[in-house]
Amino acid sequence: MRLTNSNRGRIRAWVPYLGALLLIGLIIAGLWPRPVPVETALAAIGTLRATVNEEGKTRIKQRYTIAAPVAGQLRRIPFKPGAEIKASETVVAVIDPLSPTLLDPRTRASTEAKRDTALANREKAKATHIYAASELRRVEKLFEGKTSSLEELEAAQMREATAAKEEAAGDSALRQAEAELAEFGASDAGQSSVCVPREVTSPIAGRVLKVLEESTRVVSAGTPLLEVGDPSDLEVVVEVLSRDGAAIAPGTKVEFEQWGGDQPLIGRVRLVEPAAFTKISALGVEEQRVNVVADLVTPLEARRNLGDNFRVEAKIIVWEASSALKVPAGALFRQGEQWATFVLENGTARLRPVKVGRASGTETQILEGLKPGEEVIVYPGSRVKDGQRVRPIKI
């Protein structure tokens, strides 16, 4: 069948209208809102726990500083940190008595002159005391005969007492000078006292933590020599904010990670110290912090390489539930004074208010507003509105 000229003319007349309709359709398709790609997650029932996460440091529960019990010449300490010691058996240090000081001729002459002066002063004080005592007796007889006044008697008594004190002081100075000369004579004759070294033992069984005085030298009584302790008896100290410490009770479970092993260590809070302290954070902010002390429950065999002052990352579990309805924390946002989330319903985002409970940092407990299995939009931002079409994507 052939088209006549009239038919061809009709078709040509409709071509501009068809082109216009096609153009309008393309414009409408280009301007038609497309579904916004969003990341989604399911509201699921599972284990949820709220934790306080802070860095901690191990320390030995009972550490001892062994000090020199007497003054003397310390021998070189042969122990190194980590050396094993036994209670009341291992001799950790030996202290020899100090040798007497030798006097040179000039010092000796000065000491002899000091002795002679002390002797002369003592004799003078003795003579003065004898005279004062004799004078007191005469005044007492005169006072009994009522030929002397009370003031004269009291003055004589005071002179006698003063003379007695001066005689006693003279005796002390003489004994001191004679003792110095006696030491000099013993040094000259080589008659020093018997030198008995003093052995210092460890009060506990454990290991040497630090050697404070390794080389030989003269030490005074009370000089710290070593630090010892038992590395198997460890505790962990965690600095937390005071508001977090107020919510932590003794017996709370703690998990320690990043300590060097594959599995986390388990501990229990023994004490939250009653006094907080001020600490400047890395950002320069003053913070009130408190020490939380936890005992390690994990057996020694699983943490044998853990020692004193080792760094750990602590997770203090302040709350835990095994069947909590939870969603990712990024799916929640504030809507006025309430919390809300976007629920995916038939490809459309629906705004829904919810009531939240505890949070773990990455997940939050839902008390009201959601059911298990419902799909929520994570990190919706400002691009998602109520009733908007969305397209779930996989991350």
Q: Give residue-wise pLDDT tens across range 42-67.
A: 999 999 999 999 999 999 999 999 99
Handedness of CA 110, 112, 118, 124 (dihedral sign): negative
Are 126 and 179 contained in the same domain? yes
Calculate what percentage of the chain has a pLDDT beyond 90.
49
pLDDT at 115 exceeding the cut of 80: yes
pLDDT score of 289: 95
Q: For helices 150-189 and 105-144, what crossing angle results, to 10°? A: 160
Six-digit token pair at 181?
A: 């000369």
Are 245 and 332 contained in the same domain? yes
Calculate the alpha carbon distances from 9 to 2, 13, 18, 40, 284 in Å. 14, 6, 15, 57, 85
Greater pLDDT, 151 or 298: 298
pLDDT at 191 exceeding the cut of 60: no
Rg of the chain on CA atoms, in Å: 47
Largest separation between any pair of C-alpha atoms in the chain: 182
Contact (CB, 8 A) for 376 and 344: yes
Six-digit token pair at 238?
A: 């965690």
Q: Give residue-wise pLDDT tens across range 193-220.
A: 456 889 999 988 999 999 999 999 999 9
Q: Give residue-wise pLDDT tens across range 294-305.
A: 999 999 999 988
Note if the pTM is more than 0.95.
Answer: no
Q: Answer yes or no: is 374 within a domain.
A: yes
Residue (of 327, 243, 312) closest to 44 by Cα position = 327
Class of residue 144 by CB neighbours under 10 A (exposed 0-12, middle 13-18, buried 19+): exposed
Six-digit token pair at 260?
A: 């060097």
Six-digit token pair at 235?
A: 């505790």
Domain range for residue 88?
66-97+200-228
Count other C-beta atoms under 10 Å from residue 6's C-beta. 7
- CATH code (residue 110): 1.10.287
pLDDT score of 119: 86
Are 353 and 327 contained in the same domain? yes
pLDDT at 101 exceeding the cut of 70: no
- CATH code (residue 216): 2.40.50.100
Are 176 and 279 contained in the same domain? no
Half-sphere exposure of 38 (CA within 13 A, CB side): 28
Total of domains in the chain: 3
